Amino acid sequence: MIQDLWYKNAVIYCLDVETFMDGNGDGVGDFGGLQRRLDYLAGLGVTCLWLTPFHPSPNRDNGYDITDHYGVDPRLGSLGDFVEFTHQAKQRGLRVIIDLVLNHTSDKHPWFQAASKDRNSRFHDFYVWSDKKPKDAHKGMVFPGSQHTTWTYAPGVKRWYFHRFFPFQPELNIAHPAVREELLKVMGYWLQLGVSGFRVDAVPFLVELKGMRNHGIEDPYELLDRMREFLSWRSGDAILLAEANVTMDEVMNFFGKDGDRMQMVFNFSANQSYFLSLVTEDATPLVESLRSAPRLPHLAQWANFLRNHDELDLGRLPAKARKRVFAELGPEPRMQLYERGLRRRLAPMLAGDRRRLDVSFSLMLSLPGTPVLWYGDELGMGEDLSLHERQSVRTPMQWADEPHGGFTRAEEPFRPVVERAPHGYRQVNVEHQRRDPGSLLNWMERMVRMRKECPELGWGAWRLLSVRNKNVLALRYDWKGETLVTLHNLSGKACEVGFSPGGPPARLVHLLSEDHSSPGKTGRHRVTLEGYGYRWYRMEQRLAPPATD
């Protein structure tokens, strides 16, 4: 049992070690460089770092094709460098969670190398095989347009192997008892080295029934129960953060009825609904998403995000709605990916409009749950659409207006830094924004600090407030006798909002300015919100009158 639910009031920052900072001048980011930038991250106010895969890998899928779950890619450093990094992060109050990729390996992994050469190898059953190519081999692709089958022939054993992702990522037979034992060992290893948990990749694929009939598994979610139990015994305060892009009807299967599976799940529904609300200037899609969400057990928590290392997945929006978002945020075919998403950074999607950026980040920081920030978005970094697929949003961090954005001293980085204005490193970098009090970076530092000072947002019970303006989202949070009210105008036009926060009439104290609100005679408040305006109010507590004798 986690006594201190630290993740409830955390601010998580996701980064890729190889694109963050080069410490040894070879053109590739590494743990030495990342360690040098820990003070920047602590100064930003984030409390937990999520590292995308840094293990040995052919790197055909940004490190998600792993050849050794126990190692560190030599380009990025050594295990000693990793341990020193986690130690230094801890000294600054920063927790570290890492990606846990369980559903597949690289085809260069020793397990698959042995399995694909000899049917009698003990590793052969670690993967999913068929003697004949299944009839549905051309269905169920994760990457339509880039992927053409889910089964590939292995001539060494004259069988077909299953791969939910690309052919170089053979699917593990997650039902096999020996595979499960190996995966728990991987978790235990990294917990022993000081991580505070795992972001678990592609969790819905871990609970599919393929290959399970041979091992007597009746409940596919049993693996999640076992992972949580193992985690709790090995490290009482470690967490599991699930990537599970599922419907609200399914999501409790991943949290667990009592919050006893994954402590956190990414809120893909709110993410997709928000972008639809933003382009239509109508909060209704987001309101409906929040309203449809199940009430979570005490131990469970949503993880809210705007962008991440993948495409902006809009696949659960109706086709007409998805087309509308594409038309405004990514109208060119080269901006779109896999028939469902946009391979763009947040700032260029919103045309660099500070008003829309500010209201978006304000909303992410104040939605029910824990915010997750993608590196560089605190600056307004751009993408490079000349790069392959999702690499467009995985460019090196922009530190300064100097060669390669200050990312490396090498003549050429392993991946180019964004140069093109207005989001290139000459215009958008840490050094410039630190000196500008009105910069996005300095604004973000203030907002992150305020988020941490409002535990109601992470811990409290919340409810939607009724407003007539369809472009406004109004929420109330309650925790330990404190009440917080947030308003967000998703339209570019100013509007007056009337609402009742509930309870006895009370003054609302604006936490970000002197623009406080006093109730009318009926207890209702009227607030004028500028276009894309937002308010964070704390309800003023009235002291009880002194007792009389």
> Could you tell me the CA-to-CA distances from 346 to 152, 263, 275, 361, 542 in Å, in that order?
36, 27, 11, 10, 42
- What stretches of 282-369 adopt beta strand conformation (E)? 301-305, 312-313, 336-337, 341-342
CA–CA dist 473, 495 (Å, integer):
12
Burial 61-84 (b: 16+ CB within 10 A, else e): bbbbbbbebeebbebbbeeebbee
Decide: helix, strand or coil at residue 264.
strand
Catalytic residue among 30, 125, 201, 384: 201
Sheet with 159-162, edge to edge strand ranges: 129-130, 159-162, 151-154
For tokens 């599922």, the residue is 246
CA–CA dist 402, 404 (Å, integer):
6
Q: Which tokens go with 110?
A: 């020793």
CA–CA dist 80, 78 (Å, integer):
5
Q: Which tokens go with 428?
A: 């958008």
Catalytic residue among 243, 311, 377, 384: 243
Is residue 201 part of the annotated active site? The answer reads: yes
Sheet with 312-313, edge to edge strand ranges: 312-313, 341-342, 336-337
Q: Which tokens go with 274?
A: 């928000």
- What stretches of 52-128 adopt beta strand conformation (E)? 95-100
CA–CA dist 239, 242 (Å, integer):
10
User: Cβ contacts of residue 76 below 8 Å, gap of 6+?
Assistant: 17, 18, 28, 29, 30, 31, 54
Q: Which residues are catalytic?
A: 201, 243
